[in-house]
Structure 1
Amino acid sequence: MAVHNGTPAMPDSRIRNEALRARLTTAEQAAELIRPDSTVAMSGFTGSGYPKVVPMALARRIEQVAAAGERFRIRVLTGASTAPELDGALAKVDGIELRLPYQSDPEARQRINDGTLNYIDTHLSHVAPHAWFGFYGDIDTAIIEVSAIREDGALVPSTSIGNNKTWLDLARQVIIEVNQWQPAGLEGMHDVYYGTALPPDRVPIPLLAPGDRIGETILRCDPAKIVAVVETNGPDRNSPFKALDQASIDIARHLVDFLKHEVARGRMPKNLLPLQSGVGNIPNAVLAGLAEGGFRDLTAFTEVIQDGMLDLLEAGVLATASATAFSLSPEANERFKQKIDFFRERIVLRPQEISNHPELVRRLGCICMNGMVEADLYGNVNSTHIMGSRVQNGIGGSGDFARNGFLSVFVSPSTARNGSISSFVPMVSHVDHTEHDVGVLVSEQGLADLRGLAPKQRAQVIIDRCAHPDYRAMLKDYFDRASRDSYGKHTPHLLAESLAWHQRWLDTGSMRT
């Protein structure tokens, strides 16, 4: 076992470059290189490919500094959400001053909603260009997980790419975690495009189909910037797959029937258009429904590949899938590792500035399916905030796709919190997606096709087809009175009542009258 700087290399080390192997160190020593009040950009997207040990070592260091009466906080940038070892560990010790662009950790969420952690919720496609424009200031340190370092010093990405290319390009110093838990067979699955530029020098991105490869299989980094290399052997945060609930199955059935109707009307080809879907039970149910519905030769141009897409790839229903990360259950991850040669021929992982790029979403004509917190009578969607002010996770990439796809679909059960909250309300308490970007709403009750409808027509369809029966009469009563008494009749609202449902829930624990 080789030893460098007092740190032993793992057996069968994946650090194949001698110069970078000489920079092998411990997580604690690497964490010492990070200064207070600095901006630290880290890998990670939906619990995949995030650094496993340096953030935890940094959290321990921050805790020690705090015990001595000093303050140590950093600004944290990632691809999307990460895991307890990163967001959770740093938030718990009050080590994060600013967080962007997406999070899902309970510790971080609590501090954001307490007002002690600043959070910028932004479209995922905006992050890399905004970093290049300098909107976030200088990036002091990048901490990036990879699956290997090649002999030539090139970095082999792991189970997510996210914003790693941008972080490596812009950071003043770089810390690399080489994770041997990640399958070696990942090499060759990635497609890293280096052809983006700042205005006015931009040129069209040469991608015409989801499976096209337009870049390199590796990440580049100036070796002079790499100040530490840490070897790890730890799993991604993989949530167990949840059994499909009846509401998810019903939503999927409505949506699959609708897609069949669109094919029959000649609006889509038999193999549909490239699919984009968020993470969770409903997207998995939709994917299963597509297989059962007889669809074949499908493609996906999305952010995240989860269990359902692996199933479709293995079944031959899905021909190819493009994404920026995996989000697999432990069981699916083992299947992925065992059949990685098969999947490497059918999956392409890209930087999120490409996977979410509006130009490509529009060109490919994606069918975009995303979850929501609530929708209002006119089709405005809130996908981020509970009762208007308490953030849940973030907008993620939903806006990148909803504003640019061929078909924009938002899905949700018709009620939440054991029926005490209606997902369809007079006016949303926070707007992420305006009525202009929403084409279809689906609940377990039914599907509302809003395309080509004026506001008052949308309201009737949403009430009749998506709202839960317990709230349908209340919505109809509000809409009828607003249509009669509102200041204007184009988008009728009673401003004194439009958010009363939310206030009623805060006051009584139920939106019901």
Structure 2
Amino acid sequence: MNRRIRDRLMTADEAVKWVRPGKRVVASGFLHQPSRVLRALQALVDDGQLPPEPLTPFRNSFPRRSFTRKGPDVAILHAAAIFSDGFVPALAVEESPWLAANAHEIILEWNVNWPSSLIGVHDIYADTVVDDAHIVPLCQPADRIGTPYIPLDWTKVVGVVKVDDDLSFVSPIEESANESRMANHLHEFLLSELRKGLLPIDMPPIHAACTGETGAILRALTQSGQQRIALFTDIIDEVALDLLQSESLSVASGSTLAVTQATAGDLSRTLKQSENRLILRPRQTITAPDVLRRLGIISINTAQEVDLYGRAHLQSDRWDSANTGQDFARQSRLSIVLLPPAPPEAGVSRVVPRVAQADLSEREVDVIVSEHGIADLRGISAAKRAERIISGWAREPQQPDLAAMVFANRRK
């Protein structure tokens, strides 16, 4: 064992003593968290030694720029392996590289149960510059532009907590029963775009938000003849992993790998089979505007509802995919929104006069796909958009009222 690691080994209870009242504490990950240290931290809160909320969840909604001038005081990071100059961040990279570079003090929780085949899966481009004008030199989804580990300044590491806890996995996402017709419509549309020359012969990389509908669509697309698709997304789920092993996907590049218990037993073998075709990167790299525009991705999101002019309220899941879905859609070559049917017992329509929350504006939605067909909203007026959406998907009892609203708005 490296001397730097050995000198800093301690228990979780000893490590959390570095967290004092008033310090800003940030933990990495949301699927694979440093759970042992977090439990010890919660014990201090329960005993009244720390304020009720000493921990800041670091996710998409958290403003990274609030730490631009002064990084977090303490970062608690999860590690699958530790080297003399860095560590491997298990299956979730997320914002860990930025935290490791900018935190004043670092506590590492090292779970030795992660398979050694994880080493080499990551591509960490250590971009510590908080500047949207910074260029990330990634030109293809399979390119590697960084290191297989997160660089680490050992002078900031105050403790290493070595654990052998059971690995945490996610429950499977239930696939929609309506994916077959939606997949057929989408596949026919993409083939039509290829024939018209509006898409390159080699299908551009696809971003698919991690929901039941998009997972099923991705499976159906690869099975229906569109082989060797490249996936460039935030969260790689079990569907994508299966397609990667069957070589229906040429490469899957993301920030997090969401593995279920069913796959956990063969995780080591799965990682070896997907060697060089499964790449985990920091979220800063995955969602960089210049990278998404350069790759010319096709973004596929799932909407909870759309309004008369094509604005979409995205379907959020337990992994908060709506937030990153906006990043991909806004920089995509083609922004596609899936609109699954509402449950019959709900008695409501997915088409509403105005969405409660416009995650994507009408300028950020190109095509809407439902079980009834395709609505291509590119290059048409707002009134034409409304007519196309109402005639295609609004429930019949609602159509006259919605059409009257459109007519009234046109007269104003």
Say whether the fold is shared (TM-score over 0.5).
Answer: yes
Match of 2:380 among 432, 449, 453: 453
- TM-superposed CA distance for 1:417, in Å, is 8.1
Distance 1:172 1:295, change over 3 A: same
The answer to whether structure 1 residue 484 and structure 2 residue 411 are counterparts is no
Q: Secondary structure at the match of 1:228?
A: strand
2: distance between equivalents of 1:450 and 1:52?
A: 46
Distance 1:199 1:329, change over 3 A: closer
Distance 1:342 1:393, change over 3 A: closer
List aligned pairs for 1:3-82, cutoff 5 A. 16-45=1-30, 47=31, 49-65=32-48, 71-78=51-58, 80=59
Q: Secondary structure at the match of 2:47?
A: helix
Tell me what 1:140 maps to. 73
List aligned pairs for 1:300-339, cutoff 5 A. 300-339=231-270
Distance 1:52 1:75, change over 3 A: closer
- TM-superposed CA distance for 1:307, in Å, is 1.4
List aligned pairs for 1:327-406, cutoff 5 A. 327-383=258-314, 393=320, 395-406=322-333
Match of 2:396 among 455, 459, 472: 472
2: distance between equivalents of 1:480 and 1:24?
A: 68
Please tell me whether the aligned partners of residues 390 and 402 of structure 2 are also in contact (alpha carbons under 8 angstroms).
Answer: no
Amino acid at match of 2:82: I
| Cα shift readout 1:47-98 (whole Å, capped 9, x = no counterpart) | 2x321211122122212218xxx843224132x4xxxxxxxxxxxxxxxxxx
- TM-superposed CA distance for 1:393, in Å, is 4.5
| Cα shift readout 1:331-373 (whole Å, capped 9, x = no counterpart) | 2333332232221221111110001111111110111111222
Amino acid at match of 1:398: G
Q: TM-score, normalised by structure 1?
A: 0.74
| Cα shift readout 1:443-463 (whole Å, capped 9, x = no counterpart) | 233322211121111112222
Structure 1 segments of 4 or more deviating over 4 A? 391-394
Report the more deviating stretch, 229-238 or 286-295: 229-238
2: distance between equivalents of 1:29 and 1:268?
A: 57
Q: Secondary structure at the match of 1:22?
A: helix
Q: Secondary structure at the match of 2:227?
A: coil
Tell me what 1:91 maps to. none
The answer to whether structure 1 residue 427 and structure 2 residue 354 are counterparts is yes
- TM-superposed CA distance for 1:401, in Å, is 0.6
| Cα shift readout 1:428-474 (whole Å, capped 9, x = no counterpart) | 1112211111111222333222111211111122223333xxx2331
The answer to whether structure 1 residue 181 and structure 2 residue 113 are counterparts is yes
- TM-superposed CA distance for 1:37, in Å, is 4.0
Q: TM-score, normalised by structure 2?
A: 0.92
| C-alpha RMSD over aligned residues | 2.5
Please tell me whether the aligned partners of residues 271 and 297 of structure 1 are also in contact (alpha carbons under 8 angstroms).
Answer: no
Q: Secondary structure at the match of 1:240?
A: coil
2: distance between equivalents of 1:326 and 1:199?
A: 27
Distance 1:444 1:336, change over 3 A: farther
Q: Secondary structure at the match of 1:372?
A: strand
Aligned pair count reads 411
Tell me what 1:5 maps to. none
Distance 1:297 1:485, change over 3 A: closer
1: distance between equivalents of 2:97 and 2:293?
A: 23
- TM-superposed CA distance for 1:419, in Å, is 2.3
| Cα shift readout 1:367-422 (whole Å, capped 9, x = no counterpart) | 11112221101011122689xxxx99573211111111011112232315832332
Report the more deviating stretch, 451-460 or 232-241: 232-241
Please tell me whether the aligned partners of residues 213 and 340 of structure 2 are also in contact (alpha carbons under 8 angstroms).
Answer: no
Tell me what 2:98 maps to. 166
Structure 2: give runs of 5+ residues left out of the alignment: none
Please tell me whether the aligned partners of residues 447 and 466 of structure 1 are also in contact (alpha carbons under 8 angstroms).
Answer: no
2: distance between equivalents of 1:412 and 1:65?
A: 48
- TM-superposed CA distance for 1:131, in Å, is 5.1
2: distance between equivalents of 1:271 and 1:290?
A: 15
Please tell me whether the aligned partners of residues 252 and 282 of structure 1 are also in contact (alpha carbons under 8 angstroms).
Answer: no
Q: Percent of aligned pairs with the same residue?
A: 28
1: distance between equivalents of 2:344 and 2:268?
A: 38
Amino acid at match of 1:56: R
Please tell me whether the aligned partners of residues 148 and 157 of structure 1 are also in contact (alpha carbons under 8 angstroms).
Answer: yes
Amino acid at match of 1:182: W
- TM-superposed CA distance for 1:222, in Å, is 1.2
2: distance between equivalents of 1:251 and 1:199?
A: 39
2: distance between equivalents of 1:207 and 1:482?
A: 46
2: distance between equivalents of 1:199 and 1:367?
A: 25
Amino acid at match of 1:312: L
List aligned pairs for 1:400-415, cutoff 5 A. 400-415=327-342
Amino acid at match of 2:296: G
